[in-house]
Amino acid sequence: MPPFPDKPPRLREIFAKFDPPIYFVTFCTWRRARILACEAAHAAFIEYATQNLSRGIYTGRYVLMPDHVHLFVSLPRHLRLEHYVRLLKQHLNPTLRLGSPTDRLWQPGFFDHLIRAHESYEEKWDYVLQNPVRAGLVERWQDWPYQGEIERIRSTSHQ
């Protein structure tokens, strides 16, 4: 039985190259509220990502912008990306509620892109890294405090 019987043949080939797969994920706050660029949200993000290492969930490079998050994540095949993002949002909620009077904190859903090659990872990261500069928040990407890398993700298994 093929490992991904429900996927078209081309996707089975792509998924087979990366074990586990690497995703580039973006999700936004409700009505683009500028509530993420703070030490408390950054600490909560790091806490969530670090707690998941023992479950084989590797959060790679990330940038927290004021109103959205970009991250790379590698999940074991038995876990769904939707579940990871939903739990991450839930983990951030108590911290963000302190500074936000609204009941809704997140736009529904998220954007994801399956990374297909090492070059794609580096190319996307270079683009994301410059987000704070393009937004006029800092002059150099190195000065943006709400970014980092929890675990180095490569296109091979971590096990």
Domain that holds residue 92: 9-149
**Residue 111 falls inside a structural domain:** yes
In this structure, are residues 75 and 84 in contact, taking their beta carbons and an 8 Å threshold? yes
- Between CA 42 and CA 36 the distance in angstroms is 8
**Residue 159 falls inside a structural domain:** no
Q: Give me the tens of pLDDT residue by residue for the chain, a chain 159 residues long.
A: 445 555 555 554 445 455 688 999 999 999 999 999 999 999 999 999 999 999 999 999 999 999 999 999 999 988 899 999 999 999 999 999 875 566 789 999 999 999 887 667 888 888 899 999 999 999 999 999 999 999 988 654 443
**Residue 46 falls inside a structural domain:** yes
**Residue 28 falls inside a structural domain:** yes
How, if at all, do strands 111-114 and 147-149 pair? Answer: unpaired
The 3-class SS string of 7-55 reads: CCHHHHHHHHHCCCCEEEEEEEEHHHCCCCCCHHHHHHHHHHHHHHHHH
Picking from 58, 85, 75, 78, the residue whose alpha carbon sits closest to that of residue 149 is 58
- Between CA 106 and CA 59 the distance in angstroms is 20
Q: What CATH number does residue 66 fall under? A: 3.30.70.1290
Indicate the SS3 state at residue 135: coil
**Residue 3 falls inside a structural domain:** no
**Residue 1 falls inside a structural domain:** no
Give 150: exposed, middle or buried? Use CB within 10 Å, 0-12, 13-18, 19+: buried
Q: How many domains does the chain have?
A: 1
